[in-house]
């Protein structure tokens, strides 16, 4: 056979790896194996669509402490209904809000192992699994169980073992332990612990190392979740929450440190820091993680106006919204929260925080998402703005939540007064300089 015989010709079908559907016709003898092959073909087609969409959380699956059932020694989470797609392209649907115990009872039954659809997604280990205090990643993964009995014909009723009526493709929740103590700078007693752990998941160290030599140092994988992929976290699992649990109970449930919206395949996925799709998904997660963290601080802190960003956030996301204190609503203090961070105008200059039109917040966020987070220890500059509509509503006596928007100092200034677009008394003016 010549070499030319092995060369694929134009319009020649490529059948290797193709989906093989059973050809039904009148007179064909059908067996259960034929129907199983047809089911497998359908699942393969669905999985390929799932791979095109990308892995991640499509909607829902938010986890929070179950206030009715949660106990310090036996924490329980309430997971909302939702849909996720794992790295095999399998869709994972939770149809109703569900309470999930983080400790597994000795009599708890696991998913039924199988050698068919979910062969790669069997339970992590058989036997008893009881979690203890520590840091964990909560994931959702496929599970399969048998349901009911089907009528049979020609089989011995006393020895029928294959008459299962249906196999149910469901989901299960798993806990994957994380050992933060292997990082010398992660101190669980520090107020920075949650933020620093979250940015380990975002792969902040790899980002910084790549900055010095981006042509040669652009790894295909980075971050704590990618590291866990080689230590028990399978491609069947979709992370939905980062959990810190001590003897006092759940300390925090951080969703966006580990969960991501579906990330479609990227032609540059092997060059992670050039792969814009992944960077944007992570930037969105950083912003959402900050908003959840700040909301928890607002709830838990006895005096939120005394909270300083550098005490709780080693890194700030590219964009964020900060609720401010008012007479009737709890919030933070502008001057206190951003104390020590360079901004414009300078603290003590006598000038107020620049205004921005609320209609520009979406554009500000989109511009900021393409940039890196802010390292507060390096005293990096941040833009801070007040939506003038929000300020005017307060002046007019409306009960509204005062707020600020902040963004990475790497983007261009968006606080620009425009004729016929801004009110004179809610506009920005050039900062005066003293001439000597």
Is there a domain that residue 294 lies in?
no
User: Which parts of the chain sit beneath pLDDT 50?
Assistant: 1, 111-119, 124-130, 432-436
Is there a domain that residue 154 lies in?
no
Do 117 and 213 lie in one domain? The reply is yes
Do 114 and 211 lie in one domain? The reply is yes
Is there a domain that residue 348 lies in?
yes
**Confidence at residue 348, expressed as pLDDT on a 0 to 100 scale:** 63
Do 265 and 312 lie in one domain? The reply is no
Domain boundary (238, 262, 287) is at: 287
Do 313 and 379 lie in one domain? The reply is yes
**Confidence at residue 126, expressed as pLDDT on a 0 to 100 scale:** 38
Do 306 and 333 lie in one domain? The reply is yes
**Confidence at residue 275, expressed as pLDDT on a 0 to 100 scale:** 65
Residue range 161-206, pLDDT digits in tens: 667 777 778 899 999 988 765 666 678 889 999 999 999 999 988 8
Do 244 and 324 lie in one domain? The reply is no
**Confidence at residue 112, expressed as pLDDT on a 0 to 100 scale:** 47
**Confidence at residue 116, expressed as pLDDT on a 0 to 100 scale:** 36
Closest to 252 (Cα-Cα) out of 63, 16, 46:
63
Q: Quote the domain boundaries for residue 400.
A: 301-426
**Confidence at residue 157, expressed as pLDDT on a 0 to 100 scale:** 63
**Confidence at residue 418, expressed as pLDDT on a 0 to 100 scale:** 62
Is there a domain that residue 7 lies in?
no
Is there a domain that residue 126 lies in?
yes
Domain boundary (257, 287, 317) is at: 287
Do 269 and 349 lie in one domain? The reply is no
Is there a domain that residue 138 lies in?
yes
Residue range 123-165, pLDDT digits in tens: 544 333 445 678 999 999 999 877 777 777 666 666 666 677 7
Cα dist from 44 to 37, 90, 115, 313, whole Å = 10, 9, 16, 44
């Amino acid at each position: 056979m010549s070499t030319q015989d092995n060369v694929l010709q134009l319009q020649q079908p490529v059948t290797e790896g193709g989906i093989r559907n059973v050809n039904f016709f009148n007179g064909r003898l059908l067996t259960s194996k034929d129907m199983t092959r047809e089911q497998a073909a359908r699942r393969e087609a669905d999985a390929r669509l799932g791979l095109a969409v990308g892995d991640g959380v499509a909607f829902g699956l938010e986890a929070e402490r179950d206030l009715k059932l949660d106990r310090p020694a036996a924490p329980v989470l309430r997971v909302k209904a939702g849909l996720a797609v794992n790295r095999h392209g399998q869709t994972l649907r939770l149809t109703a809000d569900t309470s999930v115990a983080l400790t597994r009872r000795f009599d708890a039954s696991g998913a039924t192992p199988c050698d068919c659809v979910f062969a790669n997604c069997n339970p992590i280990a058989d036997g008893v699994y009881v979690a203890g205090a520590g840091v964990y990643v909560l994931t959702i993964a496929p599970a399969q169980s048998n349901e009911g009995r089907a009528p049979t014909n020609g089989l011995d009723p006393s020895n029928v073992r294959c008459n299962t009526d249906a196999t149910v493709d469901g989901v299960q929740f798993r806990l994957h332990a994380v050992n933060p103590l292997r990082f010398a700078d992660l101190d669980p007693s520090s107020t920075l612990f949650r933020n620093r752990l979250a940015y380990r998941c975002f792969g902040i160290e790899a980002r910084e190392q790549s900055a010095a030599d981006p042509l040669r140092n652009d790894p295909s994988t980075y971050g704590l979740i990618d590291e866990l992929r080689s230590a028990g976290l399978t491609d069947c699992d979709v992370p939905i929450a980062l959990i810190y649990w001590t003897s006092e109970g759940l300390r925090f449930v951080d969703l966006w440190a580990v969960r991501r919206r579906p990330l479609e395949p990227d032609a540059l996925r092997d060059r992670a820091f050039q792969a814009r799709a992944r960077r944007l998904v992570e930037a969105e997660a950083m912003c959402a993680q900050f908003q959840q963290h700040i909301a928890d601080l607002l709830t838990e802190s006895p005096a939120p106006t005394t909270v300083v960003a550098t005490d709780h956030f080693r890194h700030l996301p590219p964009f964020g919204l900060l609720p401010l204190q008012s007479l009737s609503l709890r919030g933070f203090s502008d001057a206190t929260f951003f104390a020590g961070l360079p901004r414009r105008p300078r603290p003590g200059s006598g000038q107020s925080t620049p205004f921005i039109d609320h209609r520009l917040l979406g554009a500000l966020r989109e511009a900021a998402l393409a940039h890196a987070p802010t390292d507060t220890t390096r005293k990096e500059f941040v833009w801070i703005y007040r939506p003038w509509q929000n300020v005017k509503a307060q002046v007019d006596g409306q009960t509204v939540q005062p707020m600020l928007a902040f963004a990475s100092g790497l983007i261009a200034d968006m606080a620009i007064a425009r004729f016929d677009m801004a009110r004179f008394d809610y506009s920005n003016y050039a900062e005066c300089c003293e001439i000597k």
